[in-house]
Amino acid sequence: MKINRNSGWALFLIACGALILIGKLGFGLGHLMSYLFPIAMIGLGYLGIRNGSKFIGWVILVIGLLALLGKFSGLFAILIAAGLIGYGVTLLKRNPGVH
Protein backbone atom coordinates (compact mmCIF):
# COMPACT_ATOMS: atom_id res chain seq x y z
CA MET A 1 0.00 0.00 0.00
CA LYS A 2 1.41 3.34 -1.05
CA ILE A 3 0.94 6.08 1.56
CA ASN A 4 0.08 9.56 0.30
CA ARG A 5 -1.89 12.49 1.64
CA ASN A 6 -5.29 10.88 1.01
CA SER A 7 -4.34 7.56 2.58
CA GLY A 8 -3.01 9.40 5.64
CA TRP A 9 -6.35 11.17 5.96
CA ALA A 10 -8.14 7.82 5.55
CA LEU A 11 -6.01 6.26 8.30
CA PHE A 12 -6.78 9.23 10.55
CA LEU A 13 -10.52 8.83 9.95
CA ILE A 14 -10.31 5.08 10.62
CA ALA A 15 -8.45 5.74 13.88
CA CYS A 16 -11.06 8.32 14.96
CA GLY A 17 -13.88 5.90 14.12
CA ALA A 18 -12.18 3.13 16.06
CA LEU A 19 -11.74 5.40 19.09
CA ILE A 20 -15.43 6.35 18.94
CA LEU A 21 -16.45 2.68 18.77
CA ILE A 22 -14.16 1.80 21.66
CA GLY A 23 -15.69 4.65 23.67
CA LYS A 24 -19.25 3.52 22.87
CA LEU A 25 -18.46 -0.06 23.86
CA GLY A 26 -17.33 1.15 27.27
CA PHE A 27 -13.57 0.68 27.02
CA GLY A 28 -11.95 3.84 28.43
CA LEU A 29 -11.22 7.09 26.60
CA GLY A 30 -14.88 8.09 26.95
CA HIS A 31 -14.09 11.43 28.55
CA LEU A 32 -11.39 12.16 25.98
CA MET A 33 -13.68 11.26 23.09
CA SER A 34 -16.19 13.96 24.02
CA TYR A 35 -13.54 16.57 23.18
CA LEU A 36 -12.52 15.01 19.85
CA PHE A 37 -15.49 16.20 17.78
CA PRO A 38 -15.34 19.91 18.76
CA ILE A 39 -11.56 19.96 18.26
CA ALA A 40 -11.97 18.28 14.87
CA MET A 41 -14.58 20.90 13.90
CA ILE A 42 -12.20 23.70 14.89
CA GLY A 43 -9.46 22.09 12.80
CA LEU A 44 -11.74 21.61 9.79
CA GLY A 45 -12.97 25.20 10.08
CA TYR A 46 -9.40 26.45 10.14
CA LEU A 47 -8.57 24.36 7.08
CA GLY A 48 -11.66 25.72 5.32
CA ILE A 49 -10.59 29.30 6.05
CA ARG A 50 -7.04 28.61 4.84
CA ASN A 51 -8.26 26.92 1.63
CA GLY A 52 -10.51 29.79 0.57
CA SER A 53 -13.95 28.69 1.79
CA LYS A 54 -14.06 31.45 4.37
CA PHE A 55 -17.79 31.54 5.19
CA ILE A 56 -18.22 27.79 5.72
CA GLY A 57 -14.87 27.62 7.48
CA TRP A 58 -15.84 30.34 9.95
CA VAL A 59 -19.25 28.75 10.58
CA ILE A 60 -17.69 25.35 11.35
CA LEU A 61 -14.95 26.94 13.46
CA VAL A 62 -17.43 28.97 15.55
CA ILE A 63 -19.69 25.94 16.09
CA GLY A 64 -16.66 23.92 17.19
CA LEU A 65 -15.55 26.70 19.56
CA LEU A 66 -19.02 26.94 21.09
CA ALA A 67 -19.18 23.17 21.57
CA LEU A 68 -15.73 23.16 23.19
CA LEU A 69 -16.75 26.10 25.38
CA GLY A 70 -19.72 24.02 26.55
CA LYS A 71 -17.36 21.18 27.44
CA PHE A 72 -15.27 23.52 29.57
CA SER A 73 -18.24 25.20 31.29
CA GLY A 74 -17.68 23.27 34.53
CA LEU A 75 -14.06 24.41 34.65
CA PHE A 76 -15.13 28.01 33.98
CA ALA A 77 -17.64 27.81 36.84
CA ILE A 78 -14.91 26.64 39.21
CA LEU A 79 -12.59 29.46 38.09
CA ILE A 80 -15.32 32.08 38.49
CA ALA A 81 -16.20 30.75 41.96
CA ALA A 82 -12.53 30.86 43.02
CA GLY A 83 -12.23 34.39 41.65
CA LEU A 84 -15.30 35.54 43.58
CA ILE A 85 -13.99 33.99 46.80
CA GLY A 86 -10.57 35.60 46.29
CA TYR A 87 -12.11 38.99 45.54
CA GLY A 88 -14.32 38.74 48.62
CA VAL A 89 -11.34 37.89 50.82
CA THR A 90 -9.39 40.91 49.50
CA LEU A 91 -12.38 43.16 50.18
CA LEU A 92 -12.58 41.89 53.75
CA LYS A 93 -8.85 42.44 54.33
CA ARG A 94 -8.90 45.95 52.84
CA ASN A 95 -11.97 47.23 54.68
CA PRO A 96 -11.56 47.30 58.46
CA GLY A 97 -14.64 46.39 60.47
CA VAL A 98 -16.96 49.11 61.76
CA HIS A 99 -17.04 49.37 65.61
What is this structure's pTM?
0.55
56-76 pLDDT, tens digit per residue, is 889 999 999 999 998 888 888
Q: Where are the domains of the chain?
A: 5-94
Question: For 9-64, what is the HEC assignment?
Answer: HHHHHHHHHHHHHHHHCCCCCHHHHHHHHHHHHHHHHHHHHHCCCHHHHHHHHHHH
Mean pLDDT over 42-48 rounds to 89
- In this prediction, residues 6-11 reach a mean pLDDT of 70
**pLDDT for the residue numbered 10:** 74
The whole-angstrom separation of Cα 19 and Cα 28 is 9
End-to-end Cα, the chain, rounded Å: 84
Q: Is the pLDDT of residue 85 over 60?
A: yes
